Chain A
Amino acid sequence: MYSVSKYIHIENGIIFENGKQIVDSNTTDFSEFIKQVYRNFEHIYPKFYKMDDLCKLAYIASELVLKDETEKDIALLFSNNEGSLDTDNKHQQSIQNSNAYFPSPAVFVYTLPNIAIGEVSIRHQLKSESAFFIASEYQTDYMHKYTEHLLRTNKAKKVLCGWVHCLNGAYKACFYLVETNGILEHNNQNIKQITK
């Protein structure tokens, strides 16, 4: 019924697009890696540098999938197992010691995982359906059903699904776009492969 038209995998400094390697950076540090990828884009988006690591990863993964996309009614369904714990830890550190107590608004604003959705919505001007899910691992079953339901009921024309994990320097992003026509059938088996 529906198909995956594009999928991106980002892990260990390597980026795959539709299963083919497109970036191999040799960089082990996430911060360095993600900024390198950003600087290779043709556009500039100053807000990128303000984002926390989770949002930077979601931004880059979405940018790669939505590169030549003109559709605006794209639902964003992102998920991970850690929520915003990467930034939560930073915020906690800033308030842990009452003698050096300086909570930062720029950090606190990122202590919600759905901000990653917000950043992508703003960048691509997507006034669309979205939701941030949390699960110990990618939930192929209900993600598949929920995605197709949004498309079938016309609550979205396309759906961008993404597993976006970023915690203490470890990171992994598996993003895929679902729509009527594509290169892979949108079924549980293929989703499991894409999000491995």
Chain B
Amino acid sequence: MEALKKELKERIINVLNLEDITVDDIQDTDALFGDGLGLDSIDALELIVLLDKEYGIKLADPKQGKEIFQSIETMAQYIAQNRTKL
């Protein structure tokens, strides 16, 4: 799980162009949206693509994203349970 969380942080920094941020800057339970990392609506859509591309998870309803993307912790849990790509 720790490896997955680290990998997630790296991928998010990469895919969302968070150039001034390092893996160590992101705490597992930090809010990704709103006040925490300050991601926006396009970032949310991009994370949906990330789930599909890297982990083979296709969300049935994009609105599920709100729950799943709350933090690295919630993302990692969801991916661990639903991934179809290793």
Contact = CB atoms under 8 A, between A and B. Distances in A.
Interface of A: 35, 44, 46, 49-50, 102-106, 109
* Majority SS at the chain A contact face: helix
Given A102-B52, A102-B53, A49 B17 contact: yes
7 contacts: A46-B38, A49-B19, A50-B16, A50-B17, A105-B42, A105-B49, A106-B42
A109 B45 CA distance: 11
B49 A102 contact: yes
8 A-B pairs with least C-beta separation: A105-B45, A49-B19, A49-B17, A50-B17, A102-B53, A106-B46, A105-B42, A105-B46
Give the size range of B's interface with the partner: 10 to 19
B43 interface: yes
B23 interface: no
A49 B53 contact: no
B46 A44 contact: no
Contacts of A49: 17-20
B46 A104 contact: yes
A35 B52 CA distance: 31
Given A50-B17, A105-B49, A106-B42, 12 more contacts: A35-B19, A46-B20, A49-B17, A49-B18, A102-B49, A102-B52, A104-B46, A104-B49, A105-B42, A106-B43, A106-B45, A109-B42
B53 A106 contact: no
**Which of A35, A103, A106 gathers most chain B CB within 10 Å?**
A106
Interface string B32-61: 000000100011011001001100000000
A35 B42 CA distance: 22
Contact of A44 (B17, B20, B42): B20
A106 B43 CA distance: 7
Contacts of A105: 42, 45-46, 49
A94 B19 CA distance: 22
B37 to A, nearest CB: 10
Contacts of A103: 49
Contacts of A106: 15-17, 42-43, 45-46
Contacts of B45: 105-106
B11 to A, nearest CB: 13
Nearest to B20: A46
A120 B38 CA distance: 20
A32 B38 CA distance: 25
A44 B20 CA distance: 10
Nearest to A50: B17
A104 B19 CA distance: 18
